């Protein structure tokens, strides 16, 4: 995964993510929408075979968008770890 910053202002971030598609961007968008400081977040993939997603994030100005994004990424990582642990537990109980 490579992230290329396209635009940064006081309350906006626009960046391209190389190596990802709709699946990752949709999850990230959902987690960002749960942040109270987010006014708008969306992404665009101009062509699914050749384009890299571009994500646009705008906050309401109380918090910097990069801090909101980092917090959302941390929560996403925690959720992924929680799922992983629950899945491993389910597999272990299935074997016994």
What are the boundaries of each domain within the chain? 2-95
- Using DSSP, state whether 10 is helix, strand or coil: coil
Instruction: Give the predicted TM-score (pTM) of the model.
Output: 0.84
Alpha-helical runs (H) found in the chain: 22-33, 65-95
How far are the Cα atoms of 15, 27, 43, 58, 78 from residue 9, in angstroms, in the given order?
12, 24, 18, 9, 28
pLDDT (tens digit per residue) in 8-45: 999 999 999 999 988 999 999 999 999 999 999 999 99
DSSP at 19: T
Provide the CATH topology of domain 2-95: Gyrase A; domain 2 (3.30.1360)
CA 84 to chain centre: 18
């Amino acid at each position: 995964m490579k992230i290329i910053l396209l635009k940064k202002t006081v309350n906006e971030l626009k960046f391209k993510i190389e190596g990802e598609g709709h699946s990752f961007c949709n999850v990230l968008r959902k987690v960002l929408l749960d942040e109270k400081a987010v006014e708008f977040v969306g992404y665009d993939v101009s062509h699914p075979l050749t384009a890299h997603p571009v994500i646009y994030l705008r906050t309401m100005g109380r918090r910097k968008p990069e801090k909101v994004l980092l917090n959302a990424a941390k929560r996403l990582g925690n959720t992924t770890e929680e799922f992983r642990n629950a899945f491993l537990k389910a597999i272990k109980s299935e074997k016994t």
